[in-house]
Amino acid sequence: MIAEAGLAALWLATALAALQLALAFGLGGEQGRQVAPIRAVAVGQGLLTILAFAALVAVFLRSDMSVLLVAENSHSQKPWIYKFAGAWGNHEGSMLLWVTVLAIAGAVVALFERRLDERTLSASLGAQAALALGFFAFLLIASNPFERLDPAPLDGRGLNPLLQDPGLAFHPPTLYLGYVGLSVAFSIAVGGLIRREVGPAIARAMRPWVLAAWIMLTLGITAGSYWAYYELGWGGWWFWDPVENASLMPWLAATALLHSVNVLAARGGLRAWTMMLALVAFSMSMVGTFLVRSGILTSVHAFAVDPTRGSFILVLLTLYIGGALTLLALRIADVKEGAPFNIVSREGGLVINNLLLSVILGVVFVGTLYPLIAEAVSGEKLSVGPPYFNSVASPVALALAALMLIGPQLRWRRDSAPILPRLAPGLLIAVVILVGSIILWPAIGILPRLGLVLGVGLLPASVMPLFGRSLRRTPLAVWGMVLAHLGVAVAILGMASDSAFTREKLAASRPGDTVSVGPWLVEFKQVMPAAGPNWTALEAELRASRGSGVTVLKPQSRFFPDPPTTTNEAAIDTSWNGQLYAVLGERDEQGRWQLRLWWKPFVTLIWLGGILIALGGALALLGRLFRERQQRRRVEEAYE
């Protein structure tokens, strides 16, 4: 019953999306194009989609095995949190979540957007409805989450044990809020281009959505990276895997868009660039969704390898992105540019920022697709992995970091004041670190070294915009920018430190042996059996010390019966200056256990940096929202 109700809600939501699109296109004449009915329909669509998703969660929580999706992906013995998260731990469920976020975003815009001109809002809601319609169709036709299974099995196949983890409950919904949140920027840009209204008003309407989506993407990617790091047991945090790249590309576009939309909102400049980025960002989200679900690229992450579904999404993609880009190409001549600016100016810095971010985006795009392109052209199979991406993207990213030493402090339009005093703190510290690092650690590579240098240099440089201002009167948005840029510095430091200073030790040990890694002495005490709610394991007890105190680490080799899988549960000890990471392997024929130990100095800075970046964004978002509410109140008071 619940499943059928969910499916019915989905059909109704689709019908409303069609209605919304028709209204926006002019059904019902001038009356119909009034924004009020369109708003109502959008809200209805959002509510119905939420109902559909709630129905899916309900059948998972009740372990209703007569629903095919539950039978294939869940098990009655699972802890309830993983039954809940299991609703989106598969293709159909996650696609329903994707569409739900799309519909909710449209509903929220319909409910709260007051700044935009009514006709532009109608056009934007129409665009959002068009997006929703295609993806609803995809769900109903090719990925029905509510399909029944008759006869119902006694119990389900279980959820992949790698996914039974709190990180899973957090990572996909966060990412989807990000990916799909960018759809609003896309729709507003389309609406603005249709109505030839590309100005600061559009940027101000778009900005909170871009910020919110970008914050979510930052958190989602950070969480995903940390989850892979501690769950997969190989000590790495980014592999440039196609699915990882699929999540990074929208983030890169969104970061560029974020900076660009600020220029448009504040100065009226960078109009064409901002519209283009708004379209590209969500296009990258759709491309990412396609790459992950079509099976055309091999990846440890990819689920649902189904070329038919892939073709469906490809058609949607071509229509939506093709349509939007054609619109852009045709209307861009009408877009009046703002006043020109000097290259040494805030706008100039932001333009170069956007250029560098776009280059990184382009490189990741080309690198991810190149094996496909090469094979299509020559029949040769080749692989493009970390060696390519690291050597090509890192220098550009470091150039961007160097730009950040001065960019945020430049004045608008033309900065003729002396640069050196503002650049000095960051630059001086960078030079000191450069020299110091060459003396202390001559053997580390050039990229990690530059990462250390720029990371430390960016710490004071990020804070410089606060100098010479009354701190109490500084807008929250500026604090947000400072915090976000600090976060970038911290993340770069973490990455550089991990790259330069990680120590690894592989040891075949017997209980009683001691292994040394970095500053640590690790004593292998014993291996004991252990058990959990749906797994059994062999657990090693390791006692690690460096100087004073002993830390106990208990890495496990876990076995899940449903479906039968073995996983490594790494044991990690976090201290102020790094993480000690231990993995238990097999036992060899002489009774020695394979231990893999890493000492990773300051590696947690990577994810701490990501969180700071997201926090900075949140501060900026709050700052803007408060300011707008203040301004609106003032306007209302003035009219009394």
Map the footprint of other proteins across residues 486-525, applying CB under 8 A.
504-506, 508
Asked whether 164 and 209 are in contact (CB, 8 A), the reply is no
Q: What DSSP state is assigned to residue 62?
A: T
In the bound complex, what is the minimum distance in angstroms from residue 425's beta carbon to other proteins?
25
Amino acid in the structure at residue 475? P
* One of 170, 388, 412, 559 touching other proteins (CB under 8 A): 388
Q: Which is nearer to other proteins, 95 or 515 (CB)?
A: 515
Q: Which 224-283 positions form the footprint of other proteins (CB under 8 A)?
A: 232, 234, 236, 241-242, 272, 276, 280, 283
Asked whether 614 and 219 are in contact (CB, 8 A), the reply is yes
Residue 304 contacts other proteins per CB under 8 A: no
What is the radius of gyration, based on Cα positions, of the chain?
A: 26
In the bound complex, what is the minimum distance in angstroms from residue 39's beta carbon to other proteins?
32
What lies within 8 Å, CB to CB, of 70 at 6+ separation is: 59, 60, 63, 64, 156
CB atoms within 10 A of CB 390: 14
* One of 294, 437, 534, 579 touching other proteins (CB under 8 A): 294
Q: How many CA atoms lie within 13 A of 161 on its CB side?
A: 21
Q: Rounded to whole angstroms, what are the CA distances from 86 to 105, 424, 482, 556?
A: 23, 53, 38, 24
* One of 363, 476, 521, 538 touching other proteins (CB under 8 A): 363
Q: Which is nearer to other proteins, 407 or 609 (CB)?
A: 407
C-alpha to C-alpha distance for 637 and 615, rounded to whole angstroms: 33
In the bound complex, what is the minimum distance in angstroms from residue 185's beta carbon to other proteins?
16
3-state secondary structure of 317: helix
In the bound complex, what is the minimum distance in angstroms from residue 49's beta carbon to other proteins?
28
Binding track, positions 390-429, relative to other proteins; x by CB under 8 A: --x---x-----------------x---------------
C-alpha to C-alpha distance for 394 and 248, rounded to whole angstroms: 14
Residue 550 contacts other proteins per CB under 8 A: no
Q: For residue 349, give the nearest of 306, 268, 410 by alpha carbon.
A: 410
In the bound complex, what is the minimum distance in angstroms from residue 492's beta carbon to other proteins?
19
3-state secondary structure of 602: coil
* One of 37, 199, 425, 585 touching other proteins (CB under 8 A): 585
Give the CA angle between residues 447, 452, 455 to the nearest 5°: 115
Please identify, among the stretches 115-123, 181-189, 382-390, 486-494, the one whose residues bind other proteins according to the rule CB under 8 A. Answer: 382-390
Tokens standing for 578?
A: 């790094």
Q: Which is nearer to other proteins, 84 or 365 (CB)?
A: 365
Please identify, among the stretches 45-53, 67-75, 166-174, 359-367, the one whose residues bind other proteins according to the rule CB under 8 A. Answer: 359-367
Please identify, among the stretches 47-55, 148-156, 302-310, 446-454, the one whose residues bind other proteins according to the rule CB under 8 A. Answer: 302-310
In this structure, the dihedral spanned by the alpha carbons of residues 279, 281, 287 and 290, taken in order and rounded to 10 degrees, is: -110
* One of 30, 334, 589, 640 touching other proteins (CB under 8 A): 589
* One of 36, 81, 111, 366 touching other proteins (CB under 8 A): 366
Residue 317 contacts other proteins per CB under 8 A: yes
Please identify, among the stretches 7-15, 111-119, 196-204, 378-386, the one whose residues bind other proteins according to the rule CB under 8 A. Answer: 378-386
Q: Which is nearer to other proteins, 179 or 320 (CB)?
A: 320
Tokens standing for 44?
A: 């209805």
Please identify, among the stretches 113-121, 211-219, 287-295, 541-549, the one whose residues bind other proteins according to the rule CB under 8 A. Answer: 287-295
Maximum CA pair distance of the chain? 88
Q: Which 339-358 positions form the footprint of other proteins (CB under 8 A)?
A: 340-344, 348, 351, 355, 358
Residue 134 contacts other proteins per CB under 8 A: no
C-alpha to C-alpha distance for 375 and 28, rounded to whole angstroms: 51
Q: Looking at 446-532, which runs of residues are DSSP E strands?
A: 503-509, 514-517, 520-531
Residue 334 contacts other proteins per CB under 8 A: no
* One of 13, 43, 221, 384 touching other proteins (CB under 8 A): 384
* One of 13, 257, 287, 482 touching other proteins (CB under 8 A): 287
Residue 378 contacts other proteins per CB under 8 A: yes
C-alpha to C-alpha distance for 28 and 637, rounded to whole angstroms: 37
φ and ψ at residue 371, rounded to 5 degrees = -55, -35
Q: Which 29-88 positions form the footprint of other proteins (CB under 8 A)?
A: none
C-alpha to C-alpha distance for 592 and 509, rounded to whole angstroms: 5
Q: Which 147-166 positions form the footprint of other proteins (CB under 8 A)?
A: none
Asked whether 159 and 89 are in contact (CB, 8 A), the reply is yes
